[in-house]
Structure 1
Amino acid sequence: MKQISSTQNSYIKDLLKLQDKSRERKKKGLFIIEGQREISLAIKGNYQIDTMLFVPEMFSKENLNQIQQHTSQCIEITKEVYQKLAYRDTTEGVIAVVKSKKFSLDTVNFNTSTPLILVLEGIEKPGNIGAILRTADAANVDAVFIADPKSDLFNPNIIRSSVGCVFTNQIAVGSSEEMIDFLQAKNINIYSATLQNSNQYHKNDYTQATALVVGTEATGITQIWRDKATQNINIPMQGEIDSMNVSVAAAILTFEAKRQRGF
C-alpha cells in the first residue's frame, strides 16, 4: 500500500488546492470529503471514491475494510499529513477524494405526483446552504433546487455544515429561468418567500405539487420569482427586524408543508 509522510508531497499539495479552490474542483472533477459518516453517505448516494487516505493509528482496520471495497486506491498517511488536510477540529483519520457529479435538471425524478421542492435562489453563505440541506433531508423533501448558485456544492464548508446531506438529497442546479420553466411545465405551484405582495405562509395549501422559494437575507428573492409565483408568502415578524436567517425560514416553511401533508 502506498504511503505518504511528507506535507510537501506533490499529491498532498494538489489535494490542498481541491480544498481551497472551486476552480480546481471543477477542473479536476474531484472534491474532498472528511469523516467516516460523510464518506458513507456519499457512497450510499452512489458517488465514486477515487482515493482513500487514512491514518492507521486513528482509523480502525475494521472501518477501513468497510470503506476500502468502494475504492481502487488507499494511501496510508501520517498524522502530520492528515492534520494538514483536515478541515475540522475533530479527528477521525480518514479522507476521501471523490468524483464530482453534475446536478442537472434532466436527472430529476419524482416518485409522487405532488412533490415538495425547496428552491434556494442566489444564497451565498455555505453554512446556510448546508443547514438548509440538513432540513431538506430531515423533512425528506423530493428535491432541492439551487438557482443562480454563488458557491459550488462541493465546497468543504457546505459538506461540513450539511453533515453529508449534500449527498442524501436530490439536487438540481441551474438558472432561475430554467427552474421556473421546469416547475411550470410540471404544474408545480411556486410559493416565493418575500414581503412584497404576499400573504402569511400558513394560509396557503401546500398539499399539491409545491416549490418553496427562499433567497438571500440581504436582498431576498429576485423579481422573476415574485412575478412567476403562484402566491408570494411571508413569515410574520413580531419584533424590530423584518427578516430572519434564511435557513430558519426555509425550515419553517418546509415543516408547515409537511404538517399539512400529515407528516
Structure 2
Amino acid sequence: MVGIDWLRVGVGHPAVRDVLNIARNTAPNRFNLVVADGLWAVELALELGSRLDRFFYAPELVRSSNAAKVAIEAASGAYRAYEVSAKTMQRMSERDAPEGLLALVAMPRWDPAQIELSEDALIFVTDGIEIPGNLGTLLRTADGAHAELLVMTNRRTRMSHPKVFRSSKGMSLHVPHIEFGQVDDAISWLTERGVHIYLADTQDSVHYRTMDCSGRTAIVVGNERYGITNPWYGHGFPRVGVPMLGVADSLNVSISAAILAYEARARKHHRQRCSAAGEVDGRRVAAPRSARSRPR
C-alpha cells in the first residue's frame, strides 16, 4: 500500500511470536495487550480509539475494499506495521478463515479517582470470578445493559486474557473497569459515591423484582463455585436472588448477572420516563446526567 512503511516478516519474527504467545496465553503479557483478529475486531479497536501496538496485514487474504481501507487506517495508526504471508497469518489467527487483518491492541486503563458516575448509574462488581469466558460475558452484558462501570475484587483472571476479549466481543476495550486489592477499599469507593449495593445470592435473599434501583446501583456477583467472599457480608447489604424453580440451586453467574442487570435497567428506565414527566413516586426529581469515564 502506498505511503505505508511495511516490514515484511515471517513466522519466526519476534513480533509474530508475541502474537502466538498472547493468543495462546503461554507467556507473560507484560504490556497488557490483546489480539484483535479479523476485520470486526480491528475495526472495533479503531472505532473505540484504542492504541494499536502492532498491526499485521496479509494482502492475499483481504477480500473487500472496506477491509483494505481499514488496513490502511490501522497501519497508519499502529506503532509498527507488518506484512505477512497468507501462511503466516493462518498460523497467527485462530479463525477458520483468516481475513488478513490482525492487531496487538493495548488494554485501556481507568483511574478510580477519575471515574465520574451518572446519578442513576448501574455498576457490576465481580468478586473472585475466575473463568475468563464468564468475565467476558459479564463485560458484554454490562455493555448491553448500559452499565457504566465494572469493579473487580479478588481478581482471579486477567482482563487481557484472550478468552475475555473473545467472549466479550471486544467490550473489554470499551466498558470502564477498575480493580481494588481489598474488598473494603471497593466498598469505601462505592459508598462514598452514594452507590446502593446489592449482593447476588440465592440464600436469604429478596426477589430480584423487588429491588429498589433508584440512584446509583451496584450488583455484586461472586466466584463460580464459592460465591461472594465474606467481607462483603459484614456491612448489611441486601441480598437479591433469582428464584430457582427446578432442581438446580443456582444459575451460571453470567446468566444471573444478566437477569439482575436488565431488571435494574428496566426499573431505571421506568424512573427516567417518569422523571422526564417531572415526577417519580409522587415527587419531583431531576433528570440524570450522562456518565463520563476517562481511560488513561
TM-score for the superposition, normalised by structure 2: 0.81
Please tell me the residue identity of whatever aligns with 1:46. G
* 1:242 has 2:245 as partner: no
Give the corresponding residue for 2:20. 16
| 8 Å Cα contact 2:125/2:153 also seen in 1 | yes
* 1:171 has 2:174 as partner: no
Q: Say which is worse superposed, 56-65 or 236-245, in terms of deviation.
A: 56-65
Matches of 2:156 and 2:95 in 1, distance apart? 23
1:22/1:172 Cα in 2 relative to 1: closer, same or farther (>3 Å)?
farther
Aligned partner of 1:162 among 156, 168, 171: 168
Q: CA deviation digits over 1:168-208, x for unaligned, max 9?
A: 21111223222111011112110001133321111121122
Point out where structure 2 has 5 or more consecutive residues left out of the alignment.
1-5, 271-296
How many matched pairs?
260
Give the corresponding residue for 2:263. 256
Matches of 1:241 and 1:202 in 2, distance apart? 20
Matches of 1:102 and 1:22 in 2, distance apart? 23
Point out where structure 1 has 5 or more consecutive residues left out of the alignment.
none
How much does 1:22 deviate?
7.5
Matches of 1:53 and 1:7 in 2, distance apart? 12
Matches of 2:31 and 2:104 in 1, distance apart? 11
| 8 Å Cα contact 2:201/2:239 also seen in 1 | yes
Aligned partner of 2:194 among 171, 187, 192: 187
Q: Say which is worse superposed, 97-106 or 112-121, in terms of deviation.
A: 97-106
Q: How does 1:1-263 map to 2 (within 5 A)?
A: 1-4=6-9, 6-21=10-25, 24-25=28-29, 27-59=30-62, 60-110=67-117, 112-175=118-181, 176-262=183-269
Q: Say which is worse superposed, 191-200 or 236-245, in terms of deviation.
A: 191-200
Q: What secondary structure does 1:213 align onto?
A: strand
| 8 Å Cα contact 2:43/2:70 also seen in 1 | no
How much does 1:28 deviate?
3.4
Matches of 2:49 and 2:95 in 1, distance apart? 24
Q: Say which is worse superposed, 137-146 or 95-104, in terms of deviation.
A: 95-104
Q: RMSD across aligned C-alpha pairs, in angstroms?
A: 2.0
1:99/1:168 Cα in 2 relative to 1: closer, same or farther (>3 Å)?
closer
How much does 1:229 deviate?
4.9
TM-score for the superposition, normalised by structure 1: 0.91
Of structures 1 and 2, the larger Rg is shown by 2
How much does 1:252 deviate?
0.2
Identity of aligned residues (%): 27
Q: What secondary structure does 2:73 align onto?
A: helix
Q: What secondary structure does 1:69 align onto?
A: helix
1:250/1:18 Cα in 2 relative to 1: closer, same or farther (>3 Å)?
same
